[in-house]
Amino acid sequence: MTTMDAGFDVDTVKAEFPVLSQLVHGKTLYYLDNAATTQKPRIVIDTLRTYYEEYNANIHRAVHTLSERATERYEGARGKVRTFLNAASVKEIIFTRNATEGINLVAQTYGRKNFKPDDEILITAMEHHANIVPWQILCEQTGAVLKVVPISDEGEMDFEAFTNLLTSRTKFVSVTHMSNALGTINPIEKMIELAHSYGAPILIDAAQSAYHKKLDVQALDCDFLVFSGHKLYGPTGIGVLYGKEEILRTMPPYQGGGDMILNVTFEKTTYNDLPYKFEAGTPHIAGVIGLGAAIDFLNDLGLERVERYEAGLLAYGTEALKDVPGLTIIGTAPKKASILSFVMDGVHPHDVGTLLDQYGVAVRTGHHCAQPVMDRFCIPATTRASLACYNTEADIDALVVGLKKVSEVFG
């Protein structure tokens, strides 16, 4: 067991993830691609199996026993998400396919209704494509203008520039809490306060931070927040959009169909109440229930303990990578979490990742859906090792051993 947190038994935690016990190319699997997706604990796997084996049925639409059970578990999971985020009401919890769909929903409902030519939308230069492209599409549709806050050589947002770019023309702010490419943690508390001082609503992309840090949307006072279940140790294909109830009520539906209606005639349709107004059609029922199980898992661990443990592991990894010849870490902001992105002299990241895989080390290589970040640092791509609650010093040690072999092979 690692000595970084005597109260956190990482070996016991790791044992809850069946996939981590396998061999890859005859080697122990060292999984360090958690920023792309985390592995799933037994409680999530068992919950999905139980749903399909014991009470698979559609929800909200029948009075038979299986449907009532499925509906109860589905809405129970919504309650778990509400508590997880400390939202004021379950009406503020909208289930989507992922964080990306949540951002698109806000852009195409709140944005198209409220933005006009020359209104400004403010984002940062470290955003994931999911928090860039929807706003570009919206700007094309409405004539609004996208403004971008620059980042420093360390990968830190220029807070003075953020302050200066906020004006009376700023009608919306959308920022990442934690950069998926750099690990930088943005000062969202101050950003929310400043945005509101100009009357601008703000959306927080918490896709990366939600499984590392405790979130409290009421304390933050953010207007919207999104995250994806698959990065929270839950199933793929499920995400969450939180929105303040008073704002969600003013927004038109995102899609039309079943369950988002109260009454339909050929002359007029009356829409359902929140949150169902934004949940057209049969949802990912198993995914929502599985997400609830993932939240139970994290609650049992304690996110504060997870955050402390991962901070120690990040510090260990940052120091360990200094022993690798020709390696440069990209993203050295004082406040960061979980991400070790780097380049190696004379070696393309894809070659690094391919060779590491032969030693059982799973990392991500490429632009990480953050091409503007790569452009900012004048590089085509990075190799990214990203951490989760089940990672250990042994994972970092295996990464370093593999990287030294890469250095030897490519000279």
pLDDT surpasses 70 at 336:
yes
Q: What is the arithmetic mean of pLDDT over 28-43?
A: 98
The radius of gyration of the chain's CA atoms, rounded to the nearest angstrom, is: 22
Which tokens go with 342?
A: 């780097």
Buried b (16+ CB within 10 A) or exposed e, 127-148: bbebbbbbbeebbeebebbebb
Tokens read off for 74:
């589905």
φ, ψ for residue 372, nearest 5 deg: -60, -30
Contact between 190 and 248 under an 8 Å Cβ cutoff? The reply is no
**Considering the chain, what is the average pLDDT of its residues?**
96
Q: What is the pLDDT of residue 199?
A: 97
**How far is residue 411's CA from residue 406's CA, in Å, rounded to a whole number?**
8
CA–CA dist 75, 52 (Å, integer): 17
Confidence of residue 62 (pLDDT cuts 50, 70, 90): confident
| The pLDDT value given to residue 5 | 54
Q: Tokens 């830190």 map to which residue?
A: 156
Mean predicted confidence (pLDDT) in 110-119: 96
Q: Which of 260, 230, 296, 298 is nearest to 79 (CA)?
A: 296
Q: Decide if 389 is catalytic.
A: no
Evaluate whether 126 touches 374 at the Cβ level (below 8 Å). no
Report the pLDDT value the prediction gives residue 1, as an integer from 0 to 100.
Answer: 36
- The domains found in the chain, sorted by start residue, are 10-31+302-410 (3.90.1150.10), 46-299 (3.40.640.10)
Q: Which of 139, 222, 369, 378 is catalytic?
A: 369
Rounded Cα distance, 142 and 313, in Å: 45
* Residue 2 pLDDT exceeds 70: no
pLDDT, position 317:
98
Q: Report the distance separating Cα 343 and Cα 159, nearest Å.
A: 27
pLDDT cut 90: percent of the chain above it: 97
User: pLDDT per residue over 195-252, tens digit each?
Assistant: 999 999 999 999 999 999 999 999 999 999 999 999 999 999 999 999 999 999 999 9
107-111 own/partner pairs: CB under 8 Å, 24+ apart: 107/134, 107/135, 107/137, 107/138, 108/134, 108/138, 108/254, 109/251, 109/252, 109/253, 109/254, 109/278, 110/172, 110/201, 110/247, 110/250, 110/251, 111/135, 111/138, 111/142, 111/144, 111/172
The answer to whether residue 3 scores a pLDDT higher than 60 is no
Per-residue pLDDT of 241-288, as tens digits, reads 999 999 999 999 999 999 999 999 999 999 999 999 999 999 999 999
Distance CA 228, CA 102 (A): 9
Residue with tokens 């229930």: 289
Say if CB 151 and CB 124 are below 8 A apart: yes
Q: What is the pLDDT of residues 132-186, one digit of tens each?
A: 999 999 999 999 999 999 999 999 999 999 999 999 999 999 999 999 999 999 9
Task: Using the predicted structure, report yes or no on whether residue 56 has a pLDDT greater than 80.
Answer: yes
Taking 50 as the threshold, does the pLDDT of residue 79 lie above it?
A: yes
- In 107-145, alpha helices (H): 112-114, 133-142
Q: What is the pLDDT of residues 337-377, one digit of tens each?
A: 999 999 999 999 999 999 999 999 999 999 999 999 999 99
The C-alpha atoms of residue 217 and residue 92 are separated, in whole angstroms, by 11
| Residue 229 identity (one-letter amino acid) | G
Rounded to two decimals, the pTM is 0.96
In degrees rounded to 5, what are phi and psi of residue 159? -65, -35
pLDDT bin (cut points 50, 70, 90) of residue 411 is: confident
Cβ contact 106:250 at 8 Å: no
Q: Report residue 246 CA to chain centroid gap.
A: 25
